Structure 1
Amino acid sequence: MSRSGVDLCDDIRRSILHIRNYLEDYTVGKALPVVYMFDFKTQDAVIYRLMIIGEAGGDLIERHSPAVAKCSTADYDLESALKQAARMRDLLIHHHWTVDADVIRQTAEGDLSRLRVAIEALKKDL
């Protein structure tokens, strides 16, 4: 069953919030400590949510490309961010043995807040 653009935006927004919740036990406005790299349950939860973001992002680009492009700004290129998320999803699924915990950590620490704001704007245009 095909999901609507609004549903896909909600999937991304919800996954970002889950990632933030998973990681708040490790950090309060600081970088993730090394101990995170050894907590496999949290890593798996973050990876799962990154896969959802990538899958939903790829679907948004495929089915709602004009709206995605419209929500891209000089400060934040939503289309590029979603393409990068889709590539990461492919890596996590099809090349799982190459996944580096530090790359996952860096992604989780990255600017998911900007992605969330852009997704909320996109949702209003769909």
Structure 2
Amino acid sequence: MKILLVDDSGTMRTIQKRCLSKLGIEDVTEAEDGVQALELFVASSFDIVLSDWNMPNMDGLQLLKEIRQRNKDIPVIMITTEAERARVVTAIQAGVSDYLVKPFTPDSLKSKLERWVTSNA
């Protein structure tokens, strides 16, 4: 499984990569903002995108919209501190596949990934 991990916090990327590694997922490409992520997304293929919402240059919502213009099927999981109902609804309307609020447990990340790996198998 090839994952595009997008978060402006190097610490959060490290934590998420550690969680993914514990799940046996080592093929992870990192991006620190939506602009870099979109460039990587266009240049390569990924099975799942994990993205933060609040980032400089291009936020996760705009990245989601850009990805959906190019690929309507790839699972995009928003991993963010944005827990307000209105924000979740906005993400769903934009085409997010799933939503995980920080802080999260490795088990909650695992269940989200398993859900989308199984449904796309």
TM-score (norm. length: structure 1): 0.30
- Higher relative contact order by CA 8 Å / sep ≥ 6: 1 or 2? 1
Instruction: Report which of the two structures shows the higher radius of gyration computed on alpha carbons.
Output: 1
Higher strand proportion (structure 1 or 2): 2
TM-score (norm. length: structure 2): 0.31
